[in-house]
Amino acid sequence: MNALHQLEIEVENCRRCPRLVAWREQVAVEKRASFRDDEYWGKGVPGFGDPAAGLMVVGLAPAAHGANRTGRMFTGDRSGDWLYRAMYRAGFANQPDSIHKDDGLELANAWVTSPVKCAPPANKPTPDERANCRPFLTREFEYLSELRVVVALGGIGYQAVAQHLGVKPRPKFGHGVEVPLESGLTILCSYHVSQQNTFTGRLTEDMLDSVFSRAQEIASTGVR
C-alpha cells in the first residue's frame, strides 16, 4: 500500500474531533430534501488527484451536502462546478463536471485537498479542529514530492498553507497575490469558489482562469 492510499484510509476513518464526527454523520442521516435518495458519504474526505502533481489546490473543508455527500472534494456542489470548470480550461482536468465520485473525473498534474477533512457546522472549524487535521495536510505535502505551486482558495486555505510552509512574514491575502518561496514553491491566492463569492460577482470565471493559467505555467515549467 502506498503512502497516499494509506493516508486516504486514515482520513476516511478519523474520529479525532467529536463535534465534526457528530455533524458529518447527522447531515448524512437527515440529508437535504433534494438529495433524499442519495447515500451520503458522511466520513472524512481525503484529497485526490495525480500523485505526481505539480499543483496543489487547497480549499477549506468538505461541504455538508457536497463532498460530505459524495466523498470527493468539491464534488456535487456549485463551488466544485466553478473549480473544475476552471481546472478543465487550464488543462488540469479531463472534464469540466464533478457530479459524483465515480463520474470519470481525472486530474492531470494536480491534487485537490483541504486543511480540514470533515464538514464543519456553518463551515467554521474551531482552532482545535484545524490543529487536529494539520498532520494530514503535512503528510500530503511530504508525499507529493513534485509540487511547484499551491493555489490557496480563501483566507483560511492560505493561512493553513503559509503556516505549513513557514511563511514569515506572511503577505496579506488577496486574489491574485503570488508568494514565491526560497524552497522553489509558489503560493497563488484566489478568492474561494463559494457561492458567497461567485453569486455576488466578487469572483468571476475570468478571475479564476487567470489564477489557474498562471498555476499551469508554474506547474508545467517551473517558471516563477
Determine the structural domain holding residue 203 and report its residue range: 3-221
Q: Tell me, what's the pLDDT at 224? A: 53
Q: Tell me: the pLDDT tens digits for 95-114?
A: 999 999 999 999 999 999 99
Beta-bridge partner residues of 150: 56, 187
Concatenate the DSSP letters of all residues of 114-144 into one string. -S--SPPGGG---HHHHHHHHHHHHHHHHH-
Give the side-chain half-sphere CA count within 13 A for 221. Answer: 7
Number of domains in the chain: 1
Average pLDDT over residues 193-215: 97
CATH code, 133: 3.40.470.10
Q: Tell me, what's the pLDDT at 112? A: 98
C-alpha cell at 125: 472549524
